[in-house]
Amino acid sequence: MKFRLLFFTTLLIFCIGTGCAKNVRLGGQVTYSDDGSPLTTGTVCFETDTYTARGSLKPDGTYTLTSVTQNDGLPTGQYRVSVLNAVKGFGEDDATNIPLIDPKYGRGDTSGITFHVTPSSNRFDFTVERYKAKQ
């Protein structure tokens, strides 16, 4: 409970100091690089060393980022991008989960995807490679 109170107090101070009202509301679409079909499951994360915004993928591969409240966006700046939980069978028995994308996309520092968010930018589409089992 104390952690939550400290977290939200810190967040409120951050928002007052940086002007959360100036956040950029954004989203985009994630598709496979080989055929352009949408990635239909997972969570897209935009992160810096101090800030993270996330958005769940919809069946058409689109996402909208949320950092504190629904669709509130994120501050301008350079972000690393990752995609989490992009597996078939997520939430079921871990043994039955099948990765859908290359594991490098699971971390912002290994995905190779970065975006610079500006007040005039609000759509960030990108592609991912399918998972290939080692033979």
Residue 133: inside a domain, yes or no?
no
- The pLDDT assigned to 94 comes to 60
Residue 73 lies in a domain: yes
Contacts of 63 (CB under 8 A, 6+ apart): 27, 28, 29, 30, 44, 55, 56, 57
Residue 121 lies in a domain: yes
Tens digits of per-residue pLDDT, 26-74?
Answer: 999 999 999 999 999 999 999 999 889 999 999 999 999 988 887 788 8
Got the DSSP string for 9-43? HHHHHHHHHHTGGGPBP-EEEEEETTT-PBP-SSE
CATH of the domain at 89: 2.60.40.10
Q: pTM of the full predicted structure?
A: 0.78
User: How many domains is the chain built from?
Assistant: 1
